[in-house]
C-alpha cells in the first residue's frame, strides 16, 4: 500500500523532503490517515524511548511489525484496526524508561464542553530517553525531566513546556516557529539544535545553541529579547531576571544524550546535583567546605562507586558509600572534607 508506506516513512524520518508536504496534506485532510499517523507516531515514540535498542534495531523492529500489520490487508479501514491493536500491544509489552501519559483537564468556557488534553513524557532519575514529536522534531530527555505539549500542538502551533534538561533537534518549517517554555523563559526556534537545562530546583536556566537560530523571550517581560548565535551559552537567573552570555564548547552540554557526562572546572555543587540524577542516588554533603572543590572529568560507562573514588582523589574529599541493600532504598553517598 503506497499511501501506508509513505506514512511509515514520514514517521521514521525516511520520507524524502520533496514528498513530505504532499503526505502531510493527505494526513490532515483524511480522517482515517490522520488516525493511523497519530497511532504510529505514539508507537514510534515508545520504541525510541527504550535504552535497550540502538537506532537501527528500533527502526528494524518497527518496520518488521509494520509488515505484519499490513501484509495481507487491502482495505484501509482493516489496516487501521490492526494498527490500533499493534499500538496497544506496544504500550503493554515494551519495558519503558519513559513514562507516557495523557492528562485531560476541563477547560472553563461558556459552554463548558471544550476540553484541553496534554501529552507528557517523563524520565525518572537515572534514566534518559528519546521522543519524536508530532511534527517530526526529536527531543532527548535527561534524567528527572518532564516534557509536555497540548493537544493543539500542530504544524502551525508548536509549543512545549519543559521541566528539567532536554536537547532539541527541531524540524524546520518556514513561518511556523517552535517554542520551549521553561519557568518563564521562552526559547523561540525556527529550525536548529540546542540544549535547555531548566530543572525547577535550580536558580538558573541555561540554553546552549549548537546550530541554527533561537530567540530568547520572557512570558512576563516584554522588553526581554535576545537572538543567540551558534556556540553561545545563555544563562538566565530566574530571581534577578538577568541574562549572561558567553561562548562555549557545545559538546560539553549535549554529550549527555549520548550517554556521556563531561565536567570542565565545574563547582562541586553542580557536580553533586548532576550525579544525583545521573545515577539515581542520594548524596549528602556533610561539610559545606566540600562545595569549594572544583571537578573535571568525563563519565561514560563508570559505576558510581568508581566515580566517587576518583572524586576522592582529585578533590581531596572523603566519600562514604552506603548501598542500603536490605532497605531496598537508593544507594547513598556521604561526602565530607578530609581531615
Q: Reduced to 3 states, what is the DSSP secondary structure of residue 126?
A: coil
List the alpha helices (DSSP H) in the chain: 2-12, 17-29, 31-49, 55-70, 76-93, 250-254, 268-279, 304-315
Bridge-based pairing state of the strands 332-337 and 282-285: parallel
Split at pLDDT 50, 70, 90, the class of 114 is low
Model confidence pLDDT, tens digit, residues 291-303: 999 999 999 888 9
pLDDT confidence of residue 53 = 44
pTM reported for the whole predicted model: 0.63
* Strand duo 232-237 + 204-211: pairing: antiparallel
Strand 178-182 with 158-169, pairing: parallel
Task: Give the tens place of pLDDT for each residue, 35-49.
Answer: 777 666 655 554 444
- Model pLDDT, residue 145: 95
Work out the percent of the chain whose per-residue pLDDT is above 90. 43
Q: What is the pLDDT of residue 14?
A: 67
Taking residues 7-14, what's their average pLDDT?
70
Domains in the chain with CATH codes: 1-95 (no CATH), 97-250 (2.60.120.1440), 260-337 (3.55.50.30)
Query: Could you give the CA distance from residue 295 to residue 306 in angstroms, rounded to a whole number?
Result: 15
- Mean residue pLDDT across the chain: 77
**Whole-number Å distance between alpha carbons of 198 and 208:** 12
Identity of the highest mean pLDDT range in 48-62, 90-104, 281-295: 281-295
What secondary structure does DSSP assign to 56-91, as a single string? HHHHHHHHHHHHHHHTT--SHHHHHHHHHHHHHHHH
Say yes or no to pLDDT of 168 above 80.
yes
How would residue 27 be classed by pLDDT, with cut points 50, 70 and 90? confident
Of residues 81 and 44, more confidently modeled: 44
pLDDT at 88: 43
Amino acid at each position: 500500500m503506497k499511501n501506508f508506506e509513505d506514512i511509515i516513512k514520514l514517521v521514521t524520518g525516511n520520507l524524502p523532503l520533496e514528498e513530505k508536504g504532499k503526505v502531510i496534506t493527505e494526513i490532515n485532510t483524511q480522517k482515517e490517515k490522520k488516525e493511523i499517523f497519530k497511532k504510529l507516531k505514539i508507537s514510534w515514540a515508545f520504541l525510541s524511548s527504550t535504552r535497550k535498542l540502538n537506532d537501527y534495531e528500533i527502526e528494524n523492529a518497527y518496520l518488521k511489525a509494520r509488515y505484519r500489520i499490513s501484509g495481507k490487508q487491502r482495505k484501509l479501514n482493516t489496516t487501521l484496526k490492526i494498527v490500533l491493536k499493534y499500538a496497544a500491544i506496544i504500550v503493554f509489552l515494551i519495558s519503558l524508561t519513559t513514562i507516557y501519559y495523557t492528562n485531560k483537564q476541563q477547560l472553563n468556557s461558556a459552554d463548558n464542553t471544550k476540553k484541553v488534553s496534554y501529552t507528557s513524557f517523563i524520565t525518572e532519575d537515572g534514566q534518559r530517553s528519546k521522543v519524536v514529536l508530532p511534527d517530526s522534531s526529536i527531543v532527548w530527555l535527561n534524567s528527572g525531566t518532564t516534557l509536555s505539549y497540548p493537544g493543539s500542538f500542530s504544524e502551525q502551533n508548536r509549543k512545549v513546556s519543559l521541566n528539567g534538561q532536554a536537547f532539541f533537534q527541531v524540524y524546520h518549517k518556514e513561518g511556523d516557529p517552535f517554542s520551549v517554555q521553561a519557568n518563564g523563559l521562552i526559547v523561540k526556534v525556527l529550525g536548529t539544535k540546542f540544549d535547555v537545562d531548566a530543572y525547577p530546583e535550580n536558580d538558573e536556566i541555561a540554553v546552549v545553541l549548537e546550530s541554527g537560530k533561537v530567540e530568547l523571550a520572557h512570558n512576563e517581560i516584554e522588553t526581554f529579547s535576545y537572538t543567540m548565535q551558534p556556540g553561545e551559552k545563555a544563562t538566565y537567573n530566574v530571581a534577578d531576571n538577568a541574562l549572561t552570555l558567553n561562548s562555549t564548547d557545545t559538546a560539553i552540554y549535549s554529550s549527555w544524550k549520548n550517554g556521556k557526562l563531561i565536567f570542565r572546572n565545574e563547582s562541586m555543587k553542580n557536580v553533586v546535583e548532576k550525579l544525583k540524577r545521573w545515577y539515581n542516588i542520594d548524596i549528602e554533603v556533610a561539610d559545606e567546605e566540600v562545595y569549594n572543590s572544583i571537578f573535571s572529568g568525563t563519565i561514560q560507562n563508570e559505576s558510581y562507586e568508581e566515580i566517587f573514588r576518583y572524586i576522592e582523589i582529585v578533590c581531596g574529599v572523603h566519600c562514604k558509600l552506603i548501598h542500603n541493600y536490605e532497605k531496598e532504598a537508593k544507594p547513598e553517598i556521604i561526602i565530607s572534607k578530609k581531615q
